[in-house]
A and B are shown apart, each in its own frame.
Chain A
Amino acid sequence: MPWTREQMAERAAKELRDGFYVNLGIGIPTLVANFIPTGMNVQLQSENGMLGTGPFPYEGEEDPDLINAGKQTVTELPTTSYFSSADSFAMVRGGHINLSVLGAMQVAQNGDLANWMIPGKMVKGMGGAMDLVAGVKKVVVVMEHSAKDEPKLLHKCKLPLTAAGVVDMVITDLGVFTIDKKNPNGMKLIELAPGVTADEIRAKTEADFAVALNPG
């Protein structure tokens, strides 16, 4: 059975380590915050200018001056700091953030990422995505394996790129892949969702990958 959105987020949370500074994108990546292991110190960065992003406020305690990068109301923690957009992207571009988890439209086997525009459709803009994937040490993509039966894991992205050669790991509803950014043929399938087979994934994937399943 394919993983649910929550299960995909839970799997992404396994990439967290104690002391990590992490930026979570909008959608499934936001749910990763619900799966930070107890006792692990992880600080969430919101690129609008906040480190140590807390959970949603209790009803009636929303503060219009306190939002995350998805423009959602959030709360402060004892570890919180605020800073300007320029300082925020100094953290991002300067390689100070350990992990970025974000969604994608297409990922290529060499780590190319497309997640910001579809030619011919109204483009909303890339926001901070291009800076995040270019600057953050480890980039994990969480996405549905296919879009209406069209594969999203490709030899080469068809959509305009967000960045070239930046993705380290892809978690889909069917399994987990690693990408070797130095080797365009180094993509590996390392985990399967329960009841999903490597053959089934191969049938739904354009990208070339080796099967190197983690034990257990």
Chain B
Amino acid sequence: MNKVCADPSAALAGILKDGMLIMAGGFGLCGIPETLILAIRESGVRNLTVISNNAGVDGIGLGLLLETKQIRKMISSYVGENKLFAQQYLAGELEIEFNPQGTLAERIRAGGAGIPAFFTRTGAGTDVARGKEQRVFNGNTYVMETGLVADLAIVHAFKGDTEGNLVYRKTARNFNPVMATAGRITIAEVEHMVQPGEIDPDHIITPGIFVKRIIHVPNAIKHIEQRTVRKRA
């Protein structure tokens, strides 16, 4: 079976449906699957629930799907960098479920690992715990959080082979490897596509079993959200 697709629309063919749940990797604009996001925009699919740590910025990343009002609900930990998001939220066009970042990561990890729920201290005694089962372990209160599984996970990797084995680069790893495990279908876009054996098996971060389709994005544009530098001495 061949996992390699010629282009993003071929990779998404037969998968996209209105109202589906999509996970999108990335932290801020770092390590986002932007080529696949663009292809989802072009497909016109609507009424999406998107799980992603952030919601892009205006005109970039998931901000592109907000422009076209394709997203109905976001599950995120922080959305502060997106003005359009605020407008749509305040107009009642967009729903948001805030999850603490670690809880979000663990819900995805658990979902991918077949664990329906777990207990965490995070959020105990706060609004986040409201309506959730709570239990005391060793004298501390823990909140039950549920695992997340998506209809589709889209991830960005630095390198991948035709088997779907993936390697990430620096902090562009972030949510990508966890989301790769938690999609019923996972599509990876990779900056460098290589043949099996070209990646040292000891260095593979996402084993190919988690990846259903893969596309090569040799000219992926990368964005810097906060350019901070120091002067040379």
Hey, which bits of chain A sit against chain B, CB under 8 A? 46-50, 55-59, 61-74, 76, 82-86, 88-89, 92-93, 112, 122-131, 134-135, 160-165
Distance in Å: Cβ of B65 to nearest Cβ of chain A:
18
Instruction: Evaluate contact between B125 and A164: CB separation under 8 angstroms.
Output: yes
Instruction: Evaluate contact between A63 and B105: CB separation under 8 angstroms.
Output: no
Instruction: Evaluate contact between B30 and A128: CB separation under 8 angstroms.
Output: no
Candidates B53, B101, B124, B222; contact of A64 at CB < 8 Å: B222
Instruction: Evaluate contact between A122 and B89: CB separation under 8 angstroms.
Output: yes
Number of A-B residue pairs at CB separation under 8 A: 181
Q: List residues 70-87 of chain B with CB under 8 A from any CB of chain A.
A: 76-81, 86
Q: Verify if B229 is at the interface (C-beta below 8 Å from A).
A: yes
Instruction: Evaluate contact between B100 and A130: CB separation under 8 angstroms.
Output: yes
Instruction: Evaluate contact between B30 and A85: CB separation under 8 angstroms.
Output: no
Distance in Å: Cβ of B190 to nearest Cβ of chain A:
14
Instruction: Evaluate contact between A134 and B229: CB separation under 8 angstroms.
Output: no
Q: Verify if B121 is at the interface (C-beta below 8 Å from A).
A: yes
Instruction: Evaluate contact between A124 and B106: CB separation under 8 angstroms.
Output: no
User: A83 — which chain B residues lie within 8 A by C-beta?
Assistant: 173
> Roughly how many angstroms separate A129 CA and B124 CA in the complex, as a whole number?
13
User: A82 — which chain B residues lie within 8 A by C-beta?
Assistant: 168, 170-171, 173
Check A49/B171 contact, CB under 8 A, given A73-B224, A73-B228. yes
Q: List residues 38-83 of chain B with CB under 8 A from any CB of chain A.
A: 53, 76-81
User: B123 — which chain A residues lie within 8 A by C-beta?
Assistant: 130, 134, 163
Distance in Å: Cβ of B124 to nearest Cβ of chain A:
7
> Roughly how many angstroms separate A86 CA and B53 CA in the complex, as a whole number?
12
User: A49 — which chain B residues lie within 8 A by C-beta?
Assistant: 27, 171, 173-174
Instruction: Evaluate contact between B121 and A135: CB separation under 8 angstroms.
Output: yes
List 13 extra interface pairs beyond A47-B101, A122-B89, A164-B125, CB under 8 A: A55-B230, A57-B230, A66-B171, A67-B171, A71-B29, A74-B228, A84-B178, A86-B178, A89-B101, A93-B120, A126-B100, A131-B101, A161-B126
Instruction: Evaluate contact between B105 and A125: CB separation under 8 angstroms.
Output: no
Candidates B77, B109, B120; contact of A125 at CB < 8 Å: B77
User: B227 — which chain A residues lie within 8 A by C-beta?
Assistant: 62, 73
Q: Considering only CB atoms, which chain B residue lies closest to A53 in the complex?
A: B171
Q: Verify if B172 is at the interface (C-beta below 8 Å from A).
A: yes
Check A63/B229 contact, CB under 8 A, given A71-B30, A88-B105. no
> Roughly how many angstroms separate A69 CA and B98 CA in the complex, as a whole number?
17
User: B205 — which chain A residues lie within 8 A by C-beta?
Assistant: 84
User: A62 — which chain B residues lie within 8 A by C-beta?
Assistant: 224, 227, 229
User: B76 — which chain A residues lie within 8 A by C-beta?
Assistant: 125
Instruction: Evaluate contact between B101 and A128: CB separation under 8 angstroms.
Output: yes
Q: Verify if B128 is at the interface (C-beta below 8 Å from A).
A: yes
> Roughly how many angstroms separate A126 CA and B126 CA in the complex, as a whole number?
12
Q: Verify if B36 is at the interface (C-beta below 8 Å from A).
A: no
Check A65/B169 contact, CB under 8 A, given A85-B105, A124-B79. yes
User: B105 — which chain A residues lie within 8 A by C-beta?
Assistant: 84-86, 88-89
> Roughly how many angstroms separate A150 CA and B109 CA in the complex, as a whole number?
42
Q: Verify if B210 is at the interface (C-beta below 8 Å from A).
A: no
Distance in Å: Cβ of A121 to nearest Cβ of chain B:
10
Candidates B80, B125, B229, B232; contact of A124 at CB < 8 Å: B80
Q: Verify if B127 is at the interface (C-beta below 8 Å from A).
A: yes
> Roughly how many angstroms separate A163 CA and B96 CA in the complex, as a whole number?
21
Check A84/B177 contact, CB under 8 A, given A58-B230, A72-B228, A123-B98. yes
User: A48 — which chain B residues lie within 8 A by C-beta?
Assistant: 27-28, 30, 171, 174
